[in-house]
Chains A and B, each alone.
Chain A
Amino acid sequence: MGWIFILSLIVALGLVYRPLGDHMYRCYSGAKHTAVERGVYRLLGVRPDTEQRWGGYARALLAFSVVSVLFVYGMQRLQDKLLLSLGFDAVPDHIAWNTAISFVTNTNWQAYSGESTMGHLTQMAALAVQNFVSASAGMAVAIALVRGFARRGSDTIGNFWVDLVRGTLRILLPIAFVGALVLVAGGVVQNFTGPHSVETLVGGTQNLTGGPVAGQEVIKELGTNGGGFYNTNSAHPFENATAWTNWFEIFLILLIPICLTRTFGRMVGQVRQGHAILAVMSTLAIASVVLTNVFELAGDATVPQAVGAAMEGKDVRFGVANSATFAAATTLTSTGAVNSFHDSYTPFGGMMTLVNMMLGEVAPGGVGAGLYGMLILAVITVFVAGLMVGRTPEYLGKKIGAREIKLASLYFLVTPLLVLTGTAVAMGNAEGVKAMLNDGPHGFSEILYAFTSASNNNGSAFGGVTVNTPWYDVALGLCMVLGRFLPIIFVLALAGSLAAQKPVPESAGTLPTHRPQFVGLVVGVTVVLVALTFLPALALGPIAEGLL
């Protein structure tokens, strides 16, 4: 069953690969604006036909993000005075700041429980809007980088506002609309009701909150956001009703990051280059999905051995395999939605979710973020491999010189440094350690996971750690901000530097970057870099636990 599930996903993604990839290519390349878009530009006061240098592009993105953070923060703090608050109080300041950052950075780390904290208006106008625009911003950055490769001797890399608006209106909204209908058909709720008290079978009472769930659910997956309407996220039957909505949600998660490789290929004028990048992502992703499944199905830990399967923390309507596949998909992309509890996974199964994020969210990664992260890895690979063919390394005709490798290195440095220093500070600090639920290596894994998730803008939680304390809200909030925007600045600077170059024509002496050889090399470099960076930490966490 698990195999059919995975294979049918691959087939479905294969079917939409070309049409969606081409559609996105046209969206970002066309010169025409729709009437609605023109209205938005007039409202924003931007000139859509003026292109920006990388600095202007970055400033626009940062300004937009700052305003977004303030808006989301404000909405939460004033929630009790707004409509549809369901009677909830204003969100406490540290949680509000953490949540605002979390949604603007496309992380969707949730230090709160959705159904008992956020009113419907906050969910829709603040959080769901960010689910769209933060995703669109990520895609814009990726497109800007691709333009850097595609352009020759240009000092501009596009217009952020145009990319943002088009990504939202032409790509995310239409798919989300259709997707939401599909989810509703599958049993996901979409209403404006407040909490219902329900008597449970065993005689207790339970509060069930309805809400505009389907609309938020679809963009939660499509935009690789991951912030659930409910605390239990995609394990909640109102968010993810059946085995096939589960399939559909994974499909949505992978949809844009996968298809963007086609867009990339079209933009640089060599579709096969997009295929190579897709091949790298797929190799890593399939390996990870298979390994996670293997580890979970083997159930190689004490409790699963005792009860016969690693079912703790997993829902029976999904089962072990489909939960494992969802867990792999959500951590391989920067989604962070969960339909099962990673904390309860077998040590090595849990490690896979960690490793997926440690790869830097590139296989296939978040919308946009996955593509630019992977292109950075390709640049680093090209640099070392290019030397081995006896030329100054070049990728897609652009030379990888000192400036390019500096920006790529800085990009690559950010998240590992945030993850490791963040975890180290937490482990060396009473506030950090006391939040741990478990002791031993597993407790350590929980904290490592929290910082890995925040710094990589994944947003899923291993669970176990009590993270809604001011200390964690601030620490993880910082990881999210730095983990999102520092890399983006480096990517845009790289885009600017690449766009200014004139391409070197290809020859027999050029390292071909579309062959299996190169694909294997990027996979190798990615895995080795991650292994070398995180092996000590992993050894003291999941590996120590698994080998006990």
Chain B
Amino acid sequence: MFTVASLLDAFRKLNPFTLWRNPVMLIVEAGAVFTTVLAVVEPSLFAWAIVAWLWLTVLFANLAEAVAEGRGKAQAATLRAAKRDTMARLRSGTTVAATELQQGDVVVVAAGEIIPGDGDVIEGIASVDESAITGESAPVIRESGGDRSAVTGGTKVLSDEIVVKITQKPGESFVDRMIALVEGADRQKTPNEIALNILLAALTIIFLVATITMQPFAIHAKAENPGIADSLALTGDGVSGIVLVSLLVCLIPTTIGALLSAIGIAGMDRLVQRNVLAMSGRAVEAAGDVSTLLLDKTGTITLGNRQAAAFVPAEGVTEHELAEAAQLSSLADETPEGRSIVVFAKESYGLRERELRGAAWVPFTAQTRMSGVDVDGRRIRKGAATAVMAWVGAPDEAVGRVVDGISASGGTPLVVAEKDRVLGVVHLKDVVKQGMRERFDEMRRMGIRTVMITGDNPLTAKTIAEEAGVDDFLAEATPEDKLALIKKEQEGGRLVAMTGDGTNDAPALAQSDVGVAMNTGTSAAKEAGNMVDLDSNPTKLIEIVEIGKQLLITRGALTTFSIANDIAKYFAIIPAMFAAVYPGLDALNIMRLGSPQSAILAAVVFNALVIVALIPLALRGVRYRPSSASKLLSRNLGLYGLGGIIAPFAGIKLIDLLIGGLL
């Protein structure tokens, strides 16, 4: 974890002009400089030991940030490799460097060539290797029109030839932005980080004043007890500078101050590890606050396709007959529904797939609304009830009731007919992904409302919604409905997260607080969202929310820990400073620390070491299990509040025992 590069970086970050962004650590550095001067003027082992550990405190803080950044840098290096210098072949025939491409230029990319910039495919279809960005080695299909038209610069065309219209501005490609993001080059402090920094600054000011104002009190106390000899901590001039700085550094919230930026960087990084790119830290934070999740039914909640779930035969027809006919009609049907019928017939009735010779396939068209097969003199059709009934010529009332029943239950009925009689109905159903209900229950415990978005009719939508356990649904949703729903939720003070991929999702993505665009989506969608999921897995929205929460919890937990630590430090340092003049104060030395020097040094050493000890936690984030706010608070308060009070008592005592003999 601690590489040489990060160590070097930690030293580089000692530069006060870099450090000023972190006022808490800047004060520690100022203290380190001040005590160094004091130690040079009046050297002692104690003084130099304190000086060394104060510098280490700053270095440890820098190290935390450097390590967090280092992880992003490795990723950036991989991405840079994808940004090789390529040449772009314009459709007009001329060839220019990829970096010179302007928005609106149209380029031709053939198999084996690198796509020179971000854009949309306007002609052709090709398989593209996007592993440079997604890490996924399987090629993806990119084609003109529709929602799979976006291509990313730096990816490689494997087959065929496409014509791409460039949509990026020079130097602002997706890869460029990704590099900047993972490197944290233009990392802005997020709103919550700013707020926390203000609180830390306020605490620092209080402790600064509490420490400085102690000086006249101490001088007075010493003057009142002239018989008592000067001690290392307290002379007639008051508390020694080195001890005063030690106390200050121990009191100001150095632990959280040191780890704050590492926590933020690591939070972004955790998203990157899951192949999600957040365009800003603000978006990650907002994810933790989300109270409404809009989830597309297809692909997120359900497997994406209706599947055959039952064969309901008409009167006088056996199930087996129906299944056989349905299977026959679907053998050449490459739609997911068609395939599911074949699979279902095989699983339920043991009907094997067959090779049919001389069969004439009747494809589905929007006009006929049915498909089928003519083979061996049989004419089988399956399709929408009205269409098939009309084809048969005689509506079957019993079957009509079955059809209505299936529709009412949210399923899709496919009527199967042969020649002049209706054989029965195939019940097609949306299949909810496994484990979704549990996920949504979890969400509910976290206080998040889930809303399913679907183009289905309200009946179908309701059935799926109930089966999946979402809180609400929006049926027959148009992009405008979606946008209106988001606005309505936001009006009520809720933060909304959604995923989207199509161009028509763009307005809703832009309006939502957390808009996750699928990498397979159009560039308009990617532009509108504030996150891009490179895996294009809409379920990941749930993980994103958890990462957002984990980020905030880590900050809160370490802040609590940092403040709780101070109590023990007072018990170490106050008796060390003043027990000489007021021997009664030795009663506060409840840790029974060896000597005043070792007590003060132990507190400073503990303060520095705790930073290093917590770097892994800051990078990993505290453990987060979805549960109610009350439970979360109790757990974290016990762990980091109570733990924060107790840990330093043990830690300081231990260090005191170890160094007691050395001083």
Verify B570–A509 contact, CB threshold 8 A.
Answer: no
The stretch among B32-40, B216-224, B462-470 that forms the contact with chain A is B216-224
Nearest-neighbour CB distance to chain A for B209, whole angstroms, equals 5
Verify B634–A517 contact, CB threshold 8 A.
Answer: yes
- Contact among B199, B207, B215 with A532 in the assembled complex (CB-CB below 8 Å): B207
Verify B584–A544 contact, CB threshold 8 A.
Answer: yes
A421 to B215, CA, bound (A): 11
A508 to B471, CA, bound (A): 14
Verify A511–B582 contact, CB threshold 8 A.
Answer: no
Report if A547-B444 is in contact (Cβ < 8 Å); known contacts: A402-B191, A423-B213, A532-B207. Answer: no
- B448 to chain A: closest residue by CB: A509
Nearest-neighbour CB distance to chain B for A400, whole angstroms, equals 7
Residues on A with beta carbons closer than 8 Å to the beta carbon of B94: none
- Contact among A412, A420, A440 with B209 in the assembled complex (CB-CB below 8 Å): A420
Check A417 for interface membership: any CB of B closer than 8 A. yes
Contact with B along A349-391 (1 / 0, CB 8 A): 0000000000000000000000000000000100111111111
A246 to B283, CA, bound (A): 59
- Contact among B214, B493, B559, B624 with A384 in the assembled complex (CB-CB below 8 Å): B559
**B585-599 interface with A by 8 A CB criterion:** 585, 587-588
Residues on A with beta carbons closer than 8 Å to the beta carbon of B566: 532
Check A313 for interface membership: any CB of B closer than 8 A. no
A453 to B588, CA, bound (A): 26
Report if A413-B205 is in contact (Cβ < 8 Å); known contacts: A423-B217, A546-B584. Answer: yes
Check B578 for interface membership: any CB of A closer than 8 A. yes
- Contact among B210, B567, B634 with A420 in the assembled complex (CB-CB below 8 Å): B210
Verify B629–A505 contact, CB threshold 8 A.
Answer: no
- B635 to chain A: closest residue by CB: A388
- B201 to chain A: closest residue by CB: A409
Report if A389-B198 is in contact (Cβ < 8 Å); known contacts: A440-B224, A535-B574, A540-B221. Answer: no
Contact with A along B637-660 (1 / 0, CB 8 A): 100110000000000000000000
Contact with B along A480-517 (1 / 0, CB 8 A): 00000000000000000000001111011111100101
Residues on B with beta carbons closer than 8 Å to the beta carbon of A199: none
Verify B288–A390 contact, CB threshold 8 A.
Answer: yes
Check B103 for interface membership: any CB of A closer than 8 A. no
Report if A383-B552 is in contact (Cβ < 8 Å); known contacts: A428-B219, A540-B217. Answer: no
Nearest-neighbour CB distance to chain A for B489, whole angstroms, equals 10
Residues on B with beta carbons closer than 8 Å to the beta carbon of A531: 567, 570
Nearest-neighbour CB distance to chain A for B280, whole angstroms, equals 15
Report if A390-B548 is in contact (Cβ < 8 Å); known contacts: A397-B493, A402-B191, A409-B199. Answer: yes
Nearest-neighbour CB distance to chain B for A103, whole angstroms, equals 28
- A418 to chain B: closest residue by CB: B209
A427 to B220, CA, bound (A): 7
Nearest-neighbour CB distance to chain B for A81, whole angstroms, equals 43
A505 to B491, CA, bound (A): 11
Check B6 for interface membership: any CB of A closer than 8 A. no
Nearest-neighbour CB distance to chain A for B591, whole angstroms, equals 16
- Contact among B210, B446, B492, B629 with A533 in the assembled complex (CB-CB below 8 Å): B210
Check B196 for interface membership: any CB of A closer than 8 A. yes
Nearest-neighbour CB distance to chain A for B559, whole angstroms, equals 6
Residues on B with beta carbons closer than 8 Å to the beta carbon of A427: 216-217, 219-220
- Contact among B220, B285, B585 with A539 in the assembled complex (CB-CB below 8 Å): B585
Contact with B along A406-426 (1 / 0, CB 8 A): 100110110011001101110
Interface size of A by CB at 8 A reads: 65
Nearest-neighbour CB distance to chain B for A15, whole angstroms, equals 32
Nearest-neighbour CB distance to chain A for B24, whole angstroms, equals 14
Nearest-neighbour CB distance to chain B for A115, whole angstroms, equals 35
Verify A383–B195 contact, CB threshold 8 A.
Answer: yes
Residues on A with beta carbons closer than 8 Å to the beta carbon of B585: 539, 543-544, 547
Verify A548–B584 contact, CB threshold 8 A.
Answer: yes
Residues on B with beta carbons closer than 8 Å to the beta carbon of A424: 212-217
Nearest-neighbour CB distance to chain B for A436, whole angstroms, equals 9
Nearest-neighbour CB distance to chain A for B580, whole angstroms, equals 12
Verify A508–B447 contact, CB threshold 8 A.
Answer: yes
Nearest-neighbour CB distance to chain B for A534, whole angstroms, equals 8
Nearest-neighbour CB distance to chain B for A486, whole angstroms, equals 14
- A515 to chain B: closest residue by CB: B630
Residues on B with beta carbons closer than 8 Å to the beta carbon of A402: 191, 194-195, 198
Report if A441-B221 is in contact (Cβ < 8 Å); known contacts: A420-B210, A508-B444. Answer: yes
Report if A444-B560 is in contact (Cβ < 8 Å); known contacts: A392-B552, A421-B209, A548-B582. Answer: no
Nearest-neighbour CB distance to chain A for B579, whole angstroms, equals 10
Check B632 for interface membership: any CB of A closer than 8 A. yes
- Contact among B212, B557, B564, B628 with A509 in the assembled complex (CB-CB below 8 Å): B628
Verify A539–B633 contact, CB threshold 8 A.
Answer: no
Nearest-neighbour CB distance to chain A for B519, whole angstroms, equals 27
Residues on A with beta carbons closer than 8 Å to the beta carbon of B210: 416, 420, 532-534, 536-537
Report if A507-B217 is in contact (Cβ < 8 Å); known contacts: A402-B191, A405-B199, A536-B211. Answer: no
Check A173 for interface membership: any CB of B closer than 8 A. no
A547 to B211, CA, bound (A): 22
Verify A444–B629 contact, CB threshold 8 A.
Answer: no
Verify B195–A388 contact, CB threshold 8 A.
Answer: no
Verify A540–B552 contact, CB threshold 8 A.
Answer: no
A15 to B549, CA, bound (A): 44
Query: Sorted from nearest, which 8 A-B pairs have the closest CB atoms?
Result: A509-B447, A387-B556, A547-B584, A390-B549, A507-B447, A409-B202, A424-B213, A508-B447
Q: List 8 A-B contacts (CB under 8 A).
A: A384-B556, A412-B202, A416-B210, A441-B582, A508-B444, A528-B564, A532-B567, A534-B210
